[in-house]
Structure 1
Amino acid sequence: MSKYAEELRNTAKAMVAEGKGILAMDESNRTCNKRFDKVGVPTTEEMRRSYRELILTTPNLSNYISGAILYDETIRQATKDGVPFTQVMKDNGIIIGIKVDTGAKDLAGHPGEKVTEGLDGLRDRIAEYYEMGARFAKWRAVITIGENIPSNACIEANAHALARYAALCQEGGLVPIVEPEVLIDGDHTIERSYEVTNQTLHTVFDQLYRQDIAFDQMILKPSMSIAGKQCPQQSSVEEVADATVECLRNNVPASVPGVAFLSGGQTNEQAAQHLNIMNAKYAQECPWRITFSYARAIQQSALEHWRGDNSKVEEAQKLLLHRAKMNSAASQGKYSLDMEKEAVAV
């Protein structure tokens, strides 16, 4: 048992407190620059810093957001007035999280499949991040559905890496967010998505068990069981909720405190609707809290409005807060599309 067991347990519970979710703002510099390019923002460190300051200084963000996952660059940055972002988060009651993987790389011998790297030197990085104030971490595995894939080798390699990462986190005082993402890209049906997600979660929890992970000191960040974007037969909101919750109940131990979904390229409204129905229909029957850990589904509208113009920071923050509020409502089964009309006119 980790010497941090009690702290880890308390942090994990706080991360999935009622009405709150986790903000994923841990895009690598490369990914962040791609998003900036699309909206015409200069791809400089200073612009990334300004953007992250916009997010973290949004008034009342902690009403809906329990913690935020940062990237290595971000955890070392400060506001334009010199206040470290970690201090801003502590002052606002937002738990500091950190992405610790080094990205998905091609899996040798398996064309079209990826394995996430970053275990080398991870123990030392965790110790440094803990000293900097981080209390949870994230590692994302990527599973692609295609012709004859995913292979068992891909699922097992990623599950094993996730488990070893989780063990190092719990040893070093960080709650691991375990993120096996089954991609939404492709023309696969919801049934195929369910099948792959079921196999992935089964393998992941088997590996976590083998590495002696304390399930009450971790958070699962899965994808939803949903038809691929190019599938001619798109799933209804209810079908997605039913398939996703069934898959979770088959695989996720009751002692896991919470399941915080990724949005995986869904639209803002879809991500909120799916989360809402899961909670409205199943929250009473599920042992773990069902909430969100979204990136684009919270930030995108703010980024598109800001576009690097500091005179638009306040309006962009209102858009960000609105999305956080909508997803908070969805995490309690209280969301409706009518609430979108409350969106701040900017």
Structure 2
Amino acid sequence: MDKIGQMQSTIERLTSTGRGILAADESYPTITRRLSDHGIESTEENRRFYRGMLASTPGIGEYISGIIFFEETLGQKNDAGVKIPEACAQQDIVPGIKVDKGLVDLPGCDGDKITQGLDNLGDRLDGYLEQGALFTKWRNVYAITDNTPSRLAIEANAEVLARYAAIVQSRGMVPMVEPEVLMDGHHDIDRCAEVTQAAQTALFDALRRYKVQLETVILKPNMVLPGKDKPRPSPEVCAAYTLDVLRRTVPAAVPSINFLSGGQTCEEATANLNAMNQADGAKPWVLSFSYSRALQNPVQAAWNGESANKPAAEKAFIKRAKLNSLARQGQYAPAMEKDD
């Protein structure tokens, strides 16, 4: 299969009906913080057991089409001795890999960040391909303050995302592009919409300049929401604002939009996704999920670092994934949260 055919095949699997993508690509500091919230030590063995469990949960392939991993996970095995990417393949789950190297300050800008990791990206991708990864993720962030994001930060980050996507497609892999407008702060929903629209407009302009094939790109955006310090809007308001921005910025050629949860509660992220899929109006893309905390938090709480709790953790994972699968189809109702 040629590179274009490989990317098209990967897209078809990732966007299959009723399924979404799990983000299990937390860096060492992030996974340490999230596990410690549940009293779990972030040892290599605990991370191996936990992420191997996510990939091997019986029946999870019905709801999860892809899993984004951190680099160390690609070389690890689950408790059955199966390499974790192979365990994914056994349930028709596409293994993916986070390839950016984190945030650094953008020189000349007060408070803006830019993502690093383009150096030697092509060589790293060759290795990830050999380990079974078929898609990748790169995250940029935009913080909303009185001074940020600057126009320079928006343009510079779009350029980096486009360069990354072009390199990834040259290897026959599918790039996921993640321009995240952070929820931190006290901005209102209109300010979030303004910044999200600016970031996505710049991104797609850059993708066109770098001749990135949009038909084999996945967009992972934030939902349009006010800052954490503000009251939470209804799912219908979130959906209306988010869809307005997407219709203004995202070409119909893009096959799938997989939202990040970005600090929303599990229930909020699911309800907001459901409202978008129920909303009227043009929606030429798949609207799905690529959640981390909003899928994993109940799993970590049930597991609690104890192997004996594996069945309970798997049950919690299946429940959360199923609810988001229903939301991806516009069939979720809050009352379902009470079902076992």
User: TM exceeds 0.5?
Assistant: yes
Paired residues in the alignment total 340
Give yes or no for contact 1:130–1:173 (8 Å, CA) kept in 2. Answer: no
Match of 1:67 in 2: 66
Q: Matched residues in 1 for 2:62 and 2:186: separation?
A: 38
For 1:97-134, what per-residue CA distance to the aligned partner results, in whole angstroms no more than 9, with x for missing partners? 00000011111122222101100000001111112111
Q: Matched residues in 2 for 1:210 and 1:132: separation?
A: 31
Bigger mean CA deviation after superposition, 178-187 or 126-135:
126-135
1:305 CA displacement: 1.6
Structure 1 residues 97-108: aligned runs within 5 Å: 97-108=96-107
Correspondence 1:303 to 2:300: yes
Q: 2:240 aligns with which of 239, 242, 245?
A: 242
Q: Matched residues in 1 for 2:8 and 2:56: separation?
A: 27
Q: Matched residues in 2 for 1:23 and 1:138: separation?
A: 12
Runs of 4+ residues over 4 Å off in structure 1: none
Q: 1:268 aligns with which of 235, 242, 266?
A: 266
For 1:178-231, what per-residue CA distance to the aligned partner results, in whole angstroms no more than 9, with x for missing partners? 100000111000000000000000000000000000000110000011111112
Correspondence 1:331 to 2:321: no
- Give RMSD over aligned pairs: 1.2
Match of 2:144 in 1: 145
TM-score calculated relative to the size of structure 2: 0.98
Correspondence 1:293 to 2:290: yes
Give yes or no for contact 2:137–2:176 (8 Å, CA) kept in 1. Answer: yes
Q: Matched residues in 2 for 1:53 and 1:3: separation?
A: 31
Percent of aligned positions that are identical: 44
1:11 CA displacement: 1.2
Structure 1 residues 207-246: aligned runs within 5 Å: 207-231=206-230, 233-246=231-244
Structure 1 residues 100-179: aligned runs within 5 Å: 100-179=99-178
One-letter identity of the residue aligned with 1:216: E
1:81 CA displacement: 3.4
Q: Matched residues in 1 for 2:167 and 2:296: separation?
A: 30
Q: Matched residues in 2 for 1:158 and 1:47: separation?
A: 34
Give yes or no for contact 2:6–2:173 (8 Å, CA) kept in 1. Answer: no
1:3 CA displacement: 4.6
Tell me, which stretches of 5 or more residues in structure 2 are unaligned?
none
Q: Matched residues in 2 for 1:29 and 1:120: separation?
A: 21
One-letter identity of the residue aligned with 1:221: K
1:173 CA displacement: 1.4
Q: Matched residues in 2 for 1:86 and 1:6: separation?
A: 21
Q: Matched residues in 2 for 1:237 and 1:250: separation?
A: 20
Q: Matched residues in 1 for 2:272 and 2:197: separation?
A: 18
Correspondence 1:202 to 2:204: no
TM-score calculated relative to the size of structure 1: 0.96
Tell me, which stretches of 5 or more residues in structure 1 are unaligned?
none
SS of 2:40's equivalent in the other structure is coil
Q: Matched residues in 2 for 1:128 and 1:249: separation?
A: 37
